[in-house]
């Protein structure tokens, strides 16, 4: 399967800067255990404490678990440490290599593939759990990728997916900041959105960023059953200008209504 322009832009983005890193020096140190520990602390601490709750690592013990778009591999490693038999696929060579290094350093077995979510190299009905957080809104063939997740799941298997949420405060803040600093007029909406990814400038590096409502997510999960949808995260580190000043108490109900991720938990 040939890579689309969106796939090539995704590779360019995360080859340039490993996701979750906040600076050039942190990016250069990606792959070391010190960076991994900092990443975990930030992800499960202030930024995305909902992730371990949604993924429910203890439920993965003894299960065949696949992560689509594992990035640096923070969640996949936690799935492995919880006793899951873990498989991963990612499109970006930089992330594939970094993730391999973390698993080797922590001496955990893993089955990692460099490849495209639109064409999964796994047998049909081979996985108990498939999850993908913050990935399938960066591809132009989201529906096909979800179809692939469905194919590789065993009947009764669990699918968890998180996509960016259209009706969210981070989206609103991004637009307001774009109006204030002139980037919305200069770059246009699509390129402005792409700058939410670290290392993307919206000009040379401009990953595809799509946003979904809860209703749209439910629609594209067509074949799945028992679909449970929830909203999470305020993306503190990504909100331009004000993100770092937002107090934690601001979350709660606000986050559950206007958060940055629309998340589904569904059954095949
Ligand atoms: C923002 S990062 C998220 C990484 C990780 N899931 C997390 O939550 O930290 C997006 C990841 O999706 C991967 N990706 C994007 N499009 C993909 C595709 N079509 N197939 C597989 N991986 C893809 C990128 O390479 C990148 O590692």
Question: Residue 9 C-alpha to ligand 1 middle, in angstroms?
Answer: 11
- According to the model, what pLDDT value does residue 24 have? 84
Q: What angle do CA 16, 193, 113 make, to 5 degrees?
A: 45
Q: Which of the listed residues 69, 120, 237 should we mutate to test ligand 1's pocket, taking the one with most ligand atoms within 8 A of CB?
A: 69
**Cα separation values, 9 from 47, 53, 139, Å:** 25, 31, 9
Indicate which residue's Cα is closest to atom 8 of ligand 1: 133
pLDDT at position 23 is 82
Determine contact, residues 99/88, Cβ cutoff 8 Å: yes
Picking from 3-7, 35-39, 132-136, 226-230, which range would have the lowest pLDDT averaged per residue? 35-39
Ligand 1 atom nearest residue 132's Cα = 6
Mean pLDDT of the chain: 93
Give CA–CA dist 4/13, Å, rounded.
Answer: 14
Q: Does the structure show a pLDDT above 90 at 128?
A: yes
Q: How confident is the model at residue 150 (pLDDT cuts 50, 70, 90)?
A: very high
Mutate to test the pocket of ligand 1, among 15, 54, 75, 90 (most ligand atoms within 8 A of CB): 90
**155 by DSSP, 3-state: which?**
strand
Q: How far is the CA of 241 from the centre of ligand 1 (A)?
A: 25
Catalogue all structural domains in the chain, each as residue range(s) with its CATH number: 5-267 (3.40.50.150)
Please list every protein residue whose CB sits less than 6 Å from any atom of ligand 1: 7, 10, 14, 19-20, 68-71, 89-92, 95, 116-118, 133-135, 138-139
88, pLDDT greater than 80:
yes
Q: Of the residues 65, 91, 100, which should be mutated to test ligand 1's pocket, given the most ligand atoms within 8 Å of the CB?
A: 91
Share of the chain above pLDDT 90, in %: 79
Of the candidates 42, 38, 74, 41, which has an alpha carbon nearest to the alpha carbon of residue 57?
Answer: 74
Contacts of 61 (CB under 8 A, 6+ apart): 82, 83, 84
Residue listed under structure tokens 């590789």: 152
Which one-letter DSSP state was computed for residue 165? B
Strand order in the sheet with 153-164: 111-114, 85-90, 64-68, 127-133, 153-164, 261-267, 225-232
**Token reading at 247:** 């107090």
Lowest mean pLDDT among 70-84, 121-135, 169-183, 206-220: 169-183
Identify the pLDDT of residue 45. Answer: 87
Contacts of 34 (CB under 8 A, 6+ apart): none
Least confident of 19-28, 98-107, 118-127, 176-185: 19-28
- Beta bridge pairs of residue 212: 165
**Whether the predicted model's global pTM rises above the 0.85 cut:** yes
């Amino acid at each position: 399967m040939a890579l689309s322009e969106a796939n090539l832009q995704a590779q360019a983005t995360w080859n340039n800067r490993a996701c979750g890193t906040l600076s050039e020096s942190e990016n250069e140190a990606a792959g070391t255990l010190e960076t991994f520990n900092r990443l975990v602390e930030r992800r499960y601490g202030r930024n995305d404490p909902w992730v371990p709750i949604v993924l429910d690592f203890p439920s993965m013990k003894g299960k065949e678990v696949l992560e689509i778009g594992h990035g640096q591999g923070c969640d996949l490693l936690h799935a492995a440490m919880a006793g899951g038999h873990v498989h991963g696929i990612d499109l970006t060579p930089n992330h594939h290599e970094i993730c391999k290094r973390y698993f080797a350093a922590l001496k955990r077995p893993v089955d990692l593939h460099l490849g495209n979510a639109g064409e999964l190299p796994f047998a049909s009905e081979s996985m108990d759990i498939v999850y993908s957080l913050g990935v399938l809104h960066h591809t132009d063939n989201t529906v096909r990728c979800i179809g692939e997740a469905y194919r590789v799941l065993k009947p009764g298997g669990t699918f968890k997916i998180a996509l960016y949420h259209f009706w969210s405060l981070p989206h609103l803040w991004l637009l307001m900041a774009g109006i204030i600093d002139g980037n919305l007029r200069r770059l246009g909406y699509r390129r402005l959105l792409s700058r939410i990814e670290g290392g993307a400038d919206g000009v040379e590096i401009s990953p595809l960023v799509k946003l979904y409502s809860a209703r749209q997510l439910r629609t594209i999960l067509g074949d799945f059953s028992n679909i449970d949808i929830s909203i999470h995260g305020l993306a503190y580190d990504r909100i331009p200008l004000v993100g770092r000043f937002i107090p934690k108490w601001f979350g709660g109900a606000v986050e559950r209504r206007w958060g940055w991720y629309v998340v589904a938990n569904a059954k095949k």
